[in-house]
Structure 1
Amino acid sequence: MRAKLRLMVLCVAAWSCLPHVPAHAIDVHPTAEQIQTALDRGKEAAQKRDSPDTFYIRFGTTDDRHPGGFLITKLGGLSVMATHMALRGLQTSEADILQVLDGLSMTVSAVIFGNVPNFADDSYMVLDQGGTTIKPVTVRSDGVAVRSAAWPESPQFKAKVVASFNYEDFDPKVNTTITVFPANGGEVKFHVDFSKIH
Structure 2
Amino acid sequence: MQSRAHRRQGMVVVSSLLGVLALVGPEAASAIDVKLSVDDAQKALEAGRIPMDKANSPEDVKKVLQQASLATRVGSDPEKDPCGASAILRTKRFRLEAFGRQEAAESKKQKKEIRMPDEFIKKVVDMPNMEVEVQLCGDDEYFAEGAQVAFQQGNKNIKSIDVSPAEKGRKNDGQGPAFRSRFTARFAYDSFDPNGKTKVIVFFPDGKTSEFDADFSKVR
TM over 0.5: yes
Q: 1:52 to 1:38 in 2, by over 3 A?
A: farther
Q: Which runs of 4+ in 1 moved over 3 A?
A: none
The equivalent of 2:68 in structure 1 is 54
The equivalent of 1:77 in structure 2 is 95
Q: 1:120 to 1:147 in 2, by over 3 A?
A: same
Q: 1:44 to 1:101 in 2, by over 3 A?
A: same
Which of the numbers 46, 52, 55 marks the counterpart of 1:40?
Answer: 46
Higher helix share: 2
Letter matched to residue 94 of structure 2: G
Q: Which SS does the other structure have where 2:31 is aligned?
A: coil
Q: Which runs of 5+ in 2 are unaligned?
A: 1-27, 56-60, 108-113
- 2:173 and 2:207 mapped to 1: Cα distance? 22
Which of the numbers 137, 158, 166 marks the counterpart of 1:134?
Answer: 158
Check whether the contact 1:65–1:149 (CA below 8 A) recurs between aligned residues: no
Check whether the contact 1:85–1:92 (CA below 8 A) recurs between aligned residues: yes
The equivalent of 1:94 in structure 2 is 118
Check whether the contact 1:52–1:80 (CA below 8 A) recurs between aligned residues: no
The equivalent of 1:171 in structure 2 is 193
Check whether the contact 2:83–2:136 (CA below 8 A) recurs between aligned residues: no
- 1:132 and 1:108 mapped to 2: Cα distance? 18
2:136 maps to 1:112: yes
Q: Which runs of 5+ in 1 are unaligned?
A: 1-21
Output the TM-score relative to the length of structure 1. Answer: 0.80
Deviations 1:6-52 (A, max 9, x none): xxxxxxxxxxxxxxxx9831111123442222111111132123228
Letter matched to residue 34 of structure 2: V
* Residues paired across the two proteins, number: 175
Letter matched to residue 96 of structure 1: F
Q: 1:154 to 1:79 in 2, by over 3 A?
A: closer
Check whether the contact 1:52–1:79 (CA below 8 A) recurs between aligned residues: no
Check whether the contact 1:120–1:184 (CA below 8 A) recurs between aligned residues: no
- 1:131 and 1:35 mapped to 2: Cα distance? 33
